[in-house]
């Protein structure tokens, strides 16, 4: 075998080996990135589920959505869920907040107020996206800085 062909084959083997190794490394990096906690305390996968939940709830409610944000259910929020008779599983849960105009709310404002429904808090399973608790928000909606914005203005 000529020396130039031998060098070419050796170079090809080196290049193919490098591509194979980089493919394995990039997959490991992607797996680690998916588990990394992002703003709002969510993993990348939970952030994707939160976006799906927000879009599904907005479509179901026929909302003129201004914004949607998400985070992990806090201990205080979880203790408040107990009083609402929810069916949320134990463990991590995703909190999604929708803000906009809700034309057909199924919950009325408190008696003696003329507050309009301006938002909805939704709690969902971070793996399946199944909603396990929700509540409408009346009046002015204060921005929760612990949540990461999914979409909106």
What pLDDT does 2 receive? Answer: 62
Q: Measured at the alpha carbon of residue 96, what is the angle toward residues 28 and 83, in degrees to the nearest 5?
A: 120
Residue 25, pLDDT score? 47
- Domain residue extents for the chain: 1-35, 39-152
Q: pLDDT band for position 129 (50/70/90)?
A: very high
Give the CATH fold of the 39-152 domain: Nuclear Transport Factor 2; Chain: A, (3.10.450)
State the pLDDT at residue 57: 93
Burial status of residue 122 (CB atoms within 10 A of its CB: 0-12, 13-18, 19 or more): buried
**Picking from 57-61, 67-71, 96-100, 113-117, which range would have the lowest pLDDT averaged per residue?**
113-117
Instruction: State the Cα–Cα distance between residues 24 and 47, nearest whole angstrom.
Output: 25
Q: What is the pTM of this model?
A: 0.70
pLDDT tens digits, one per residue of 97-118: 999 988 876 665 555 556 788 8
Residue 122, pLDDT above cutoff 60: yes
* Alpha carbon 83 to chain centroid, angstroms: 25
CA distance 131 to 120: 12
More confident residue, 106 or 121: 121
């Amino acid at each position: 075998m000529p020396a130039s062909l031998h060098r070419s084959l050796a170079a090809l083997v080196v290049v193919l080996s490098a591509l194979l190794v980089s493919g394995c490394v990039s997959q490991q990096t992607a797996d680690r990135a998916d588990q990394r906690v992002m703003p709002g305390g969510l993993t990348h996968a939970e952030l994707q589920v939160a976006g799906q939940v927000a879009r599904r709830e907005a479509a179901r409610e026929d909302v003129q959505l201004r914004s949607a944000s998400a985070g992990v259910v806090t201990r205080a929020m979880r203790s408040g869920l107990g009083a609402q008779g929810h069916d949320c599983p134990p463990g991590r849960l995703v909190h999604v907040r929708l803000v906009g105009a809700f034309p057909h709310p199924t919950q009325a404002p408190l008696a003696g107020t003329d507050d309009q429904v301006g938002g909805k808090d939704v709690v969902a399973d971070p793996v399946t996206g199944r909603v396990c608790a929700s509540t409408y928000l009346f009046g002015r909606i204060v921005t929760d800085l612990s949540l990461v914005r999914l979409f909106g203005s």
